[in-house]
Structure 1
Amino acid sequence: MGRHHHRISGTTTPGATGAGPSRTNPSDLTRRRLFGGAGAAVLAAALAGCTGGGQLAEKSASAGSGGGGLQWWDQFRPLTKMLQDDLFAPFMKAHPGVTVERRQMDAPDLGQALQVGRRSNQMPDVHSLAGLGGVSPAALVSEGWFQPIGKLADFAGSPVGELLYDGLHRFNGEVYSFPPFSGRWHEAVPWVNTAMLKQAGVDPEEEPGTWDKLREIARKVTTGNDSGAYGIVVPSKETEYLRALVERLAMAAGAPGPGNVDWATGDYVYDSQPYIDAIEFLVSLQKDKVVHPASASMGARDARARWAAGQAGIYLWGAWFIGGLRVDEPEAVERGVGTWHIPCPETTRNFVYSPPSSGTFWVSDQSKQAGTAAELMLQMTTKEFQTSLAEAMDQPPALAAEVIGQAQVHDAYRTCVANFQEDVRIGPVPEVGNPGVWQVLAEMRDIHPNLGDIVQSVLTGASTDVGGQLRRFNDQISAERERALKVVREEKGVEVDLKAWVFGNWDRKKDYGQQDYAGR
């Protein structure tokens, strides 16, 4: 299920899996397969692939029956110890007789396991949405996947109560989830090997600021070491990584966001100059011969391992980068890691835009322990847990600005979170303004080649017509939205039109807050 045209924060579940959030590990599930059910071959593959031979059915049989431990499935590998020590253990101690059984899987495996569990009535009590390919939580709510939790625990009165949005956490007046993570983030943070930069005569504390300066530093690193390392690594095997990277670089070049839409008109902007400039910037790095030559065969986690091994000096990825390093390549953290603001084409700074963070964890409609599950989830909203979440150095917590000061974190992570406060603004989300939007997005068919496909084809030399490909994609996705709008209006009776993507009161310099939706 593609996310190139309707990504919202909740559908790209924040946090790391060791390979990054689910947005860099998309499942290949289609909407028909998601809502209509998977075939026998898919079920068998999911059982074998996710559970090492089919133990899923046996081990999670209690999930839908109310017996046994409370089942919790997610993809947050670097958070394993923190979740156990700071969430599950204290809760079980305070609630004798309650046990929490967590299963962690990589995002694609989790997505398939959820499909299996849904069809066989073996869903966990609590789960994330990683691996479901970007489907809107609203669509899953409408399909009956979840139970509301707002009457089971006081999320509205919790420290994150003001961050609950209609269409993201609240549906038909009922709270179904909450944002444990901050919406103020992006996945194009320059992470640098400080030792390698110093060897090349570059001061890691002196930020490049501009794309040209970053190119210059990458050239110095490539030529200024005796180990054969390269200036930068750009994992190009995963089109989702490339899509996200180019979207963020385009915003740094002046594009609106999130959503790849001009909020003044509602039109898609994939063919605008900032997107062309962003792709050509990546091409320029290749022409400079500063990109690790194996980049085309690397996924995001592969690239992190190469960076950690000292094969590249710079890697653009998310805040979870250092948390993943600490788990899998701690020696790289000891050697020296730093971070910078996202560079812009010129010295003039442009903001990067993200949607408010959506729900990450949801209570299954099959759960017979919904009250216990809701109380457990509520513990994640406390400042104590939010501080522990910051200390895991993964996706910044919802209360990052409040807790980062007392959290025990690496200086580079603290700098990264501080940079987000300066560089990122919360943008509008059409689903919040009009609940009919998610039905349009669910109706839209994937367009290929999409943005990630186009970037990959350019970087691998399969195509050179950047502008032409972007124009075709922009035209195709615009036409597909028009088709979906017509279907939803005429066949489903939903009142929604292109105006749902228009936010005339959007101010580029400010967060688009909840009160702004009523004033559009």
Structure 2
Amino acid sequence: MGQHHRILGTRHGAARVGRDISRRRFIGGSSAGVLAAVLASCTGGGQSSEENAAAGGESSGPGGPLQWWDQFRPLTEMFERDLFGPYMEEHPDVTIERRQMDAPDLGQALQVGRRSSQLPDVHSVAGLGSSPAALVSEGWFQPIGSHADFEGSPVADQIFDGIHRFDGEIYSFAPFSGRRHEAAPWLNTELLAEADVDPEQSPATWDDFRAAARRVQDGTGDGVHGVLIPTQDPIYLDALVHRLATAAGAPGPGAIDWATGDYIHDSQPYLDAVEFLVSLQADGVVHPASASMGPRDARARWAAGEAAIYPWGPWFIGGLLVEEPEAVERGVGVWHVPTPETTRNFVYSSPAPGVFWVSSESDQPELAADLLLQMTTREFQAKLAAAMDQPPALLDVVAEADVHPTYAQNVSFFEEDVRIGPVPEVATPGVWRVLAEMRDIHPNLGEIVQAVLTGSTDDVAGDLRRYKDELSAERERALEVVQGEGVEVDLDAWVFSNWDPATDYDQQAYAER
């Protein structure tokens, strides 16, 4: 999830099948049998939007059925009812087949599909573990801007160089809003009421949050815990700590000091954010099985009433309505993200990333682009809001959409708490080539936090400093590589002297930089 995409866990069956496919078979396997094995592990049923037609093997259009893969389980019904169905009715010669998978399974299926030339026409990038910029540079996708008028669409002002547009060509767009984060405390209001904690009153500070969690722990029955932190997933922890650090005063997104361009993973706000999570464990309010949970596992535990508070993203309630609707009926609330002091800082996000991309292997790019363009209309955006996943790109449609009041409240909190920060690759086209060249550094932020919370290390400051230093060195190496290829970019690309912490860094700010 992430730039963050949604962060999804892996169900037991899917994880087992994934483990049974060895790395050698996964990387080298080009047979349809390996791809079928990966797809068989999908937990979303792997159903096409027109199952009967697909079962009959009928094709439509010059390239056969349009294949679409993604990880958005809460959006399944909405996609089929409000996007694919109407499009196929209007275009009788078109058939669209969709597969929904958990993110790890999707990443495996895409890797195997690329090796065997069986990629779908349209897919998301969840589970691939690479940035879209890197995937563009490796030739995964083809541009869509010449096939459909995204520049004239309602989301045109949210299309950015280095995120959606590369070398002057539009490859993707943002169907969702960047004004969101993954650290909203979601509440079991029934448990909070039992502990006499007001779900309508957000704790003002981290200490207030800790006190509320202790009251829940002490004021409810045996087996109920204050907070869930799914420590098994470093990606979840990475996102959570980034958000808490900006709430503690760090610039963002990206853990970069915009005055100097330096990485700041070892700065005081990041140390404070990790210490806050450690303090929750020291208070004894974190669910004791958290170390063995991924985000989806944790949501199921929350839905079962094992804990009262779970920090996660806006898609939380949409996922509940699909898989644990009884938890929503029982009572669900949400708070502002807490901050260290009563004087609140903003949480910073990037502009929303591209989500759906057209494969370079697709022989139906015009059809794929036209279908994607339908997602930019106000009508579809309102239906997207009603699915209660990530907030739609056109945030104002939430007010007119059929959404749960708690979802609407969460979106209103985002509008108060979140600002859009600078993104170097938008300002300087060469940056995305640097990012594509950079190799992953391990342990990364999420892995360091995981080690801290599981007791594998207690040198938080030292580990964060080493990560920052190694990441800085890797950026310098990547810069030298792309500069040697004639790309004009240097460390100044990461400096934004006109950044105003209180306002969005928008297209005008980039122009005035």
Same fold (TM over 0.5): yes
Within the candidate set 234, 242, 246, 1:239 is matched to 234
Aligned equivalents of 1:77, 1:45: Cα separation in 2:
23
How many aligned positions are there?
493
In structure 2, relative to structure 1, the CA distance for the partners of 1:144 and 1:348 (3 Å cut) is same
Segments of 5+ residues of structure 1 without an aligned counterpart are: 1-6, 21-26
- Determine the structure 2 residue equivalent to 1:131: 127
Segments of 5+ residues of structure 2 without an aligned counterpart are: 12-17, 48-53
Is the CA contact 1:229–1:311 (under 8 Å) kept in the aligned structure 2? Answer: yes
Aligned equivalents of 1:431, 1:71: Cα separation in 2:
31
| RMSD, aligned CA | 2.6
Say whether 1:500 aligns with 2:493. Answer: yes
Is the deviation greater in 357-366 or in 116-125? 116-125
Q: Deviations over 1:274-329 (max 9, x none)?
A: 01111111111111111111111111111111111101010000000000111111
SS at match of 1:506: coil
Is the CA contact 2:134–2:435 (under 8 Å) kept in the aligned structure 1? Answer: no
Is the CA contact 1:43–1:112 (under 8 Å) kept in the aligned structure 2? Answer: no
Partner amino acid for 1:241?
Answer: Y
Aligned equivalents of 2:267, 2:261: Cα separation in 1:
14
- Determine the structure 1 residue equivalent to 2:506: 513
Query: 1:258-297 residue pairs with structure 2 within 5 A?
Result: 258-297=253-292
Say whether 1:158 aligns with 2:141. Answer: no
Partner amino acid for 1:428?
Answer: P
In structure 2, relative to structure 1, the CA distance for the partners of 1:302 and 1:430 (3 Å cut) is same
What percentage of residue pairs aligned between the two structures are identical? 65
- Determine the structure 1 residue equivalent to 2:29: 40
Within the candidate set 66, 69, 77, 2:65 is matched to 69
Using the TM superposition, give the Cα deviation of residue 119 of structure 1 relative to its aligned residue in structure 2, in angstroms.
2.6
In structure 2, relative to structure 1, the CA distance for the partners of 1:333 and 1:396 (3 Å cut) is same
Within the candidate set 105, 111, 116, 1:115 is matched to 111
Aligned equivalents of 2:112, 2:417: Cα separation in 1:
41
Query: 1:431-442 residue pairs with structure 2 within 5 A?
Result: 431-442=425-436
- Determine the structure 1 residue equivalent to 2:444: 450
Is the deviation greater in 356-365 or in 65-74? 65-74
Within the candidate set 35, 38, 60, 1:49 is matched to 38
- Determine the structure 2 residue equivalent to 1:423: 417
Query: 1:360-371 residue pairs with structure 2 within 5 A?
Result: 360-371=355-366
- Determine the structure 2 residue equivalent to 1:188: 183
Within the candidate set 304, 307, 322, 1:309 is matched to 304
In structure 2, relative to structure 1, the CA distance for the partners of 1:329 and 1:8 (3 Å cut) is closer
- Determine the structure 2 residue equivalent to 1:252: 247
In structure 2, relative to structure 1, the CA distance for the partners of 1:45 and 1:263 (3 Å cut) is farther
Aligned equivalents of 2:284, 2:308: Cα separation in 1:
14
Using the TM superposition, give the Cα deviation of residue 423 of structure 1 relative to its aligned residue in structure 2, in angstroms.
0.5
Aligned equivalents of 1:52, 1:244: Cα separation in 2:
27
Q: Deviations over 1:391-415 (max 9, x none)?
A: 1110001002x20111111111000
Partner amino acid for 1:455?
Answer: V
Using the TM superposition, give the Cα deviation of residue 439 of structure 1 relative to its aligned residue in structure 2, in angstroms.
2.0
In structure 2, relative to structure 1, the CA distance for the partners of 1:467 and 1:43 (3 Å cut) is farther
Aligned equivalents of 1:63, 1:361: Cα separation in 2:
23
Q: Deviations over 1:327-384 (max 9, x none)?
A: 1111100000000110000001000111111211111222222211111111111111
Aligned equivalents of 1:463, 1:41: Cα separation in 2:
41
- Determine the structure 2 residue equivalent to 1:340: 335
Using the TM superposition, give the Cα deviation of residue 8 of structure 1 relative to its aligned residue in structure 2, in angstroms.
6.4
- Determine the structure 1 residue equivalent to 2:51: none
- Determine the structure 2 residue equivalent to 1:356: 351
In structure 2, relative to structure 1, the CA distance for the partners of 1:237 and 1:45 (3 Å cut) is farther
SS at match of 1:38: helix
Is the CA contact 1:18–1:78 (under 8 Å) kept in the aligned structure 2? Answer: no
Query: How does the TM-score come out when normalised to structure 1?
Result: 0.90
- Determine the structure 2 residue equivalent to 1:299: 294
Say whether 1:81 aligns with 2:77. Answer: yes
SS at match of 1:440: helix
Within the candidate set 310, 317, 320, 1:322 is matched to 317
Query: 1:361-440 residue pairs with structure 2 within 5 A?
Result: 361-400=356-395, 402-440=396-434
Is the CA contact 1:65–1:368 (under 8 Å) kept in the aligned structure 2? Answer: no
- Determine the structure 2 residue equivalent to 1:478: 472
In structure 2, relative to structure 1, the CA distance for the partners of 1:443 and 1:67 (3 Å cut) is closer
Partner amino acid for 1:38?
Answer: I
In structure 2, relative to structure 1, the CA distance for the partners of 1:309 and 1:512 (3 Å cut) is same
Partner amino acid for 2:165?
Answer: R
Q: Deviations over 1:27-65 (max 9, x none)?
A: 99xxxx9xxx93239996554122359x99x99x99999
Partner amino acid for 1:494?
Answer: V
SS at match of 2:311: strand
Partner amino acid for 1:74?
Answer: D
Using the TM superposition, give the Cα deviation of residue 73 of structure 1 relative to its aligned residue in structure 2, in angstroms.
0.9
Aligned equivalents of 1:117, 1:8: Cα separation in 2:
23
Partner amino acid for 1:250?
Answer: A
SS at match of 1:192: strand
Is the deviation greater in 436-445 or in 369-378? 436-445
Aligned equivalents of 1:171, 1:473: Cα separation in 2:
29
Using the TM superposition, give the Cα deviation of residue 435 of structure 1 relative to its aligned residue in structure 2, in angstroms.
1.8
Q: Deviations over 1:115-135 (max 9, x none)?
A: 222232222111111111132
Aligned equivalents of 1:198, 1:248: Cα separation in 2:
28
Aligned equivalents of 1:16, 1:457: Cα separation in 2:
19
- Determine the structure 2 residue equivalent to 1:92: 88
Is the CA contact 1:187–1:319 (under 8 Å) kept in the aligned structure 2? Answer: yes
SS at match of 1:72: strand
SS at match of 2:400: coil
Is the CA contact 2:388–2:403 (under 8 Å) kept in the aligned structure 1? Answer: yes
Using the TM superposition, give the Cα deviation of residue 452 of structure 1 relative to its aligned residue in structure 2, in angstroms.
1.0
